[in-house]
Amino acid sequence: MSSPVVTGAYLIEAREVAKSFGQTPALRGASVAVCQGEILAIMGPSGSGKSTLLHCLAGIFTPDRGEVWFDGQRLDTLGEAERTRLRRTAFGFVFQFGQLVPELTAADNVALPLLLNRVGRRTAYRTAGTWLDRLGVADKGRHRTGELSGGEAQRVAVARALAMAPTVIFADEPTGSLDSLTGEKVMDLLTALARETGTTVVLVTHDARVAAYADRLVIVRDGMVSVDLGPAGEQVSAAQAAQ
C-alpha cells in the first residue's frame, strides 16, 4: 500500500498517472505536485495531455494507472459520489467558455453551487452579489449570461468558482476565448483574488503571457511532464519550452 502524501508537503499530487481514451493514450506516466496556495501553470503542445492531467487532478477523470492524491487522501480510489462532493465543495472550475447556464442570470449562476450545497437562498445570493461586485460585474447580476460579452461571462465564471471558497481552482484555458486585453484583466482578477484568499490554482494554458501569472510552470509533452521551469516569470522560456 502506498504511503499518503506527507502532511504540509503537497496539497495535490499525481504519481505516474496514465490515461487512455480507447486506443489513444493521453497520459503516459505523468507526475506533478502542487503546494497549498501555489499557482501552477501547465503548458504543452496541442494533444500533449495537459487538459487530461488537469481533469485527473480534479477527479473528473479516473486514471487507468497511477495515483492522484488530494489533501492526504487518494482521490482516484474514491467513489463517484465522494469525488462529486469534493468537486462541489473543495474544487472550483473555470473553463474556456465559462460553461455558465445561459438561461439563468449571472447572479443565479454564481448562487447555484451554493444553493446545491444547501446554503440558504438569502445568503447564497448575498454572496453571489459580493463576488460579482469584486469582479466588476455587479451591474450584470440580473442579466442572463447569454447576453454578456465574453469577458463579462468569464468574470462571472471566476465569481462562481471563488464564491464557494474552494481549496483549489482548476482553470482550463480560462482566457482562450478572450482578446488579449480582456484576458489580462481576467487573469489579474483571478490571481489577485486567489492569492488574497490562499486558494491554490492549477491552470492549463497555451499562452505564455497567461503562464507568467503563475508561481511555477510545468510542460507536458507526449503525455508526460517533461520540464519544470520553476518560477514562471520568463515568458520567452515558457513559450519556447511549450513548442
d(CA 35, CA 142): 37
pLDDT for the residue numbered 176: 87
Domains of the chain, first to last: 1-89+208-243 (3.40.50.300)
Residue 144 CA: distances (Å) to CA of 11, 119, 128, 137, 156: 36, 22, 14, 12, 11
N-to-C CA span, the chain = 38
pLDDT per residue as tens digits for the range 43-100: 999 999 999 999 999 999 999 999 999 999 999 999 999 999 999 899 999 988 768 9
pLDDT at 6 exceeding the cut of 70:
no
